Every structure is written in C-alpha cells, then in structure tokens.
Amino acid sequence: MLLVPCMANFLFEWQGRLAFCFPSLWLTLPSEPVGPHKKRNVSMNTKTRSGYGSNPQSETQQDFRAKRTVPSTRRRIQGSLLIDRRGATLVELALVLPLLMLILLGCLDFGRILYVSAVVTNTAHEGAAWGSLNPPTSGGWNQGVVSAAITESAGTLPSLTDTDITVADIPSGDPSAPGYVRVEVQTEYHMTYPGIFAYWNVPTTVIVTRRVVMPHHR
C-alpha cells in the first residue's frame, strides 16, 4: 500500500485499478510503487477529475442560493425604494392639495360671478327694451321698466329688488330726435366659501353692475 497526498475525496479507476482518494492520503488497491512520472500522472488525473471530488449537490445548492440571493436582495431594495416613494408622494400631496383646493374653489366662485353678471346684463337689457318701446310720458313708465327687469330675473336672481334698479330718461340734443332710456342694475354676489378667501385677504363680496342704453322707438 502506498500513501500519496491528494486534494479531494473521490473514487475512480486509474490505470486499470480501483483507487480511493482522501483529503490527505492516496490509497491504491492493489499496492504498487509509484514513480515520479506516475505521481505526475496522478496529480494530472487529480486535476482533471477534480470535479468528481467536489459535491455536485452542495455546489448546485450553493449556486441556487446565490442566484436566489441576488433577486431577493434586489426585491428588498426595490421594495424599500417603493415605500420611500410612496411616502414622498404622500408628503407632496399634503403640500399641494390645499393649493389645488383653493384654486378649485376659486374657479367655482369665478364661474358663479360670470353667471350672475350675465343674468344682470339680461335684466338691464330687458328693462331698457321695455322702456324704449313705451313712451316715457305715459304714467308709471319708471315702474314699468323696473317691473320688466325684475320679471326677467325672477327665476335666476330672486334677491333683486326695486332699489337695485336705476332708470333714467335721457333726452337727445335734437328735439326732433327720440331720447334714450338708460337702465342700470346693481347686485351683490357673496362668495360660496368666504372663510377660505378671507384667510387669503380676498374680498368675499363682489358688486356686479351692468348698464344698458337704448333709444326710444316712436
């Protein structure tokens, strides 16, 4: 029996003989002296067959674990980044949401002001139209103009009263030419959300005034 150092544990057939290899001993059956050239062959065979000495199952498991470790680490990093991004999004929303709500409420009230302005214009136009078709010398002419204007705005501007309407008969410079009727309507619009606008020093009441002038028709 001959003891020879080796690098790994494995069993193989070498030169027609069964050989057992241990981490630090080389056992051959049957025993045979090994020369320097055979030692070199043994070392070469050991290097070429080193794959048999390792544990394929353990290497496979290690490779599998290594492959699993990288994606799992990547997923943890991505998950942490996603959580951080969600937190940043919530902070950004908390900072921007009040401004967006203020802009939205301002747009709603601005639209309401435009609507009230259109109603007041139509009211003044209707009163001036009635006054231009009826001679100002007839009794109750001013009241007729006011009544026509209030009737026009009854369904859309119920808060309008007689004191909000001013009627004037404007004579022309030429006695032969007809004069003019002027109707002025004024009303107040109160903001829907006055508390928000008062905080930003924005007026909560808007005065809407419209004036219409029409010539008299003979």
Whether residues 122 and 196 share a domain: the answer is yes
Which pLDDT does position 11 carry in this prediction? 52
Coil, strand or helix at 188: strand
What is the per-residue pLDDT for 32? 46
Q: Taking CA 207 as the corner, what is the angle to CA 205 and CA 211, rounded to the nearest 5 degrees?
A: 165
In a domain, 130, yes or no: yes
Q: How far apart are CA 217 and CA 190, in angstroms?
A: 38
- Same domain for 202 and 125, yes or no, is yes
141 and 206 belong to one structural domain:
yes
Type of residue found at 81: L
Asked if 157 and 119 touch (Cβ cutoff 8 Å), the reply is yes
Q: Is residue 206 part of a domain?
A: yes
Q: Are 19 and 46 a contacting pair, CB within 8 Å?
A: no
Evaluate whether residue 122 is within a structural domain: yes
CA–CA distance, 19 with 11 (Å, rounded to integer): 6
110 and 210 part of one domain: yes
> Do 33 and 111 belong to one domain?
no
In a domain, 189, yes or no: yes
Give domain status of residue 96, yes or no. no
pLDDT at residue 92 is higher than 90? no
Domain coverage including residue 27: 10-54
CB atoms within 10 A of CB 212: 22
Residue 167 region, left (φ>0) first, then alpha (ψ -120 to 50), else beta? beta
Who wins on pLDDT, 198 or 95? Answer: 95
Tens digits of residue pLDDT in 24-63:
544 444 444 444 444 444 444 444 444 444 454 454 555 5
CA distance 120 to 215: 20
Within this chain, do residues 115 and 210 fall inside the same structural domain, yes or no? yes
Instruction: Render the burial of 118-146: b for 16+ CB within 10 Å, e for the rest.
Output: ebbebbbbbbbbbbbebebeeeebbebbb
Residue 81 covered by a domain = no
Question: pLDDT tens across 159-192, in order?
Answer: 888 899 999 988 877 776 788 999 999 999 988 8
Residue 19 domain flag: yes
Q: How many domains does the chain have?
A: 2
Phi (first) and psi of residue 200, to 5 degrees = -95, 15
115 plus 50 within the same structural domain: no
In a domain, 43, yes or no: yes
Residue with the two structure tokens 């030169």? 15
Q: Are residues 45 and 135 in the same domain?
A: no
**Same-domain check for residues 49 and 111:** no
Per residue in 94-148, pLDDT (tens digit) is 888 888 888 888 888 889 999 999 999 999 999 999 999 888 877 788 899 999 9
What are the residues whose beta carbons fall under 8 Å from the beta carbon of 205, sequence distance 6 or more?
188, 189, 190, 191
Nearest C-alpha neighbor of 131 from the set 118, 149, 115, 158? 149
Answer yes or no: do 112 and 48 share one domain: no
42 and 132 in a common domain = no
CA distances from 139 to 6, 134, 135, 136, 170 (A): 132, 10, 9, 8, 17
Amino acid letter for position 187? T
